[in-house]
Amino acid sequence: MPEEAHQSYFVGLAFSGDGNHLYASLGSITDPTGETPGDTGNAIAVYGFRDGKVTSERSIKIPPSQLASHKWVAKGVFKTSEGTATPYPAGVALVPGSGG
């Protein structure tokens, strides 16, 4: 019996400007909000990067997106509350803010 993937790394990987952090997009269609223990849901994983080693730091959860009025999503991916859609992070870009 095939297993369902709980989440997967997607098309998004970026280093911070100082090279000390690595960001990777995580997407989940089966558990987009990470309700099941061990599931991350949709998020950006943040890793430390020092001396050529990657260490897990945290994840930034991405909540369901509010749909515009009179919009809908396909029933197969409708795993969030009514009126919302499953965000699925793809490309990642880091843009420096006023504080760096």
Q: What is the pLDDT of residues 32-80, one digit of tens each?
A: 788 888 888 888 999 999 999 999 999 899 888 888 888 777 666 667 7
In a domain, 92, yes or no: no
Counting the structural domains of the chain, the total is: 1
pTM of the model: 0.74
Q: Which of the two residues, 23 and 79, has the higher pLDDT score?
A: 23
> Is residue 2 a part of any domain in this protein?
no
Contact 74, 58 (CB under 8 A): no
% of residues, the chain, pLDDT over 90:
22
Domain range for 63:
8-85
The pLDDT of residue 1: 46
> What's the mean pLDDT in 21-34?
84
60 falls within a domain: yes
Question: Residue 85 in contact with residue 8, Cβ under 8 Å?
Answer: no
With 90 as the cut, is the pLDDT of residue 28 above it? no
Is 57 contained in some domain?
Answer: yes
The per-residue pLDDT of the chain, averaged, comes to 81
